[in-house]
Amino acid sequence: MPAQATVVKYQSTTYRKTINSSALQALRLLAWSAALWLPLPYAIAASHPAVTGATAATAPASLRLISYNIRCGYCEPLGSPHHWDTRKFLLVHQLKLLQPDLIALQEAEHFQITELTQLMPEYRWYGLGRDDGKQQGEATAVLYRHRKLALREAKTFWLSPTPQQVSKGWGANLNRTLTFTHFSLLPPTGTKRLATAAPSQTPAQFYLLNTHFDHESDEARRQSAALILQQAARLPAAMPLLLTGDLNLTAAHPAYQLLSSKLQDAALLATAGDSANTATFNGFGKASANGVGKIDFVFIRGPLHVQKHWIEQRRDQGLYPSDHDPVIVDFTLNEDKPMPSMP
């Protein structure tokens, strides 16, 4: 990454499309109807509970992260059960049951993100379209619970030799991006930090980087991994860092090995969860998806503990929220440990 590449302060006016109140009410009603229609066996939260209520009192710095390729909005034909206008309600239902604190999206178009956050107002988001640095094209957007997390800084880089401008490189078929975010934990609602706390102690902070590698060029995938490690090397090693993404490769690929030389695969560190090789691409159930394997990953670096890692593969009546299954990671931060300032 060029030395002059710096993060910029997040602006609270990040692209949000407004809709009238009646349309919003209709969307929420449809989402609620979808939730009622789905049967109880789909209750993901029962088997993978989020850290809430009494549990939160003993683990205040526990967070749930989801990395999810949600499939582009109109890539499936109208009338198909996989068309966005149909499956978005299943996707919202799934996310509400999983109760993540952070959602790192891939292949998300601006209108999709807008609709998701209208249906889930507990989240705010950052993300830029890969084709114009604004709203055009897919985004590697990051959604976060705004009552639990504060977005301190954010920036979008392009995976190319010119990362600070809209571009593609190394034989990539499409523009590809890396979304950089810097978060801090907010105190629980109704509480204040003790006045006796040391001035040097700040709320727990961490970085979340989210990306989507090219699907055709091996060279682009290798160079993209190198670029991400170069960016990560500029950040304080004492600050927890997570990297999420649809990498369009398996653990046998040289780009995975390169990332693993500096970062750790969360699946290999989790104290609970499923196999590190559980497939993440389902192709909406198409036979051609069989054997693709795991191509979506979460990597970590620094002082955090991975409690659980799993791939959510539950189906309901043969329906799929996306052509990928989400990667879910529960992790903890040390809220009382002093954290370094941004460089």
Coil vs helix vs strand at 272: strand
pLDDT tens digits, 22-38? 434 444 444 444 444 44
Alpha-carbon gap, residue 2 to 182, rounded angstroms: 20
Closest to 331 in 3D by CA, of 110, 42, 101: 101
287 band by pLDDT with thresholds 50, 70 and 90? low
Q: Of 196 and 271, which is predicted with more confidence?
A: 271
DSSP-assigned letter for residue 187: P
Helices (H), 185-283: 218-233, 254-260, 266-269
Alpha-carbon gap, residue 92 to 99, rounded angstroms: 10
Q: Of 145 and 78, which is predicted with more confidence?
A: 145
| DSSP sequence for 19-64 | --HHHHHHHHHHHHHHHHHS-GGG-HHHHS--S-HHHHHH-TTEEE
| DSSP sequence for 125-168 | EE---TTTSSSSS-B--EEEETTTEEEEEEEEEESSSSTTSS--
pLDDT attached to residue 291: 77
Q: Is 190 left (phi over 0), alpha (psi -120 to 50) or beta?
A: left
103 band by pLDDT with thresholds 50, 70 and 90? very high
State percent of the chain over pLDDT 90.
Answer: 67
pLDDT tens digits, 229-248? 999 999 999 999 999 999 99
Q: Of 249 and 21, which is predicted with more confidence?
A: 249
What token pair was written down for 332?
């903890």
pLDDT tens digits, 2-18? 333 333 333 332 333 33
What token pair was written down for 311?
């791939």
Coil vs helix vs strand at 86: helix
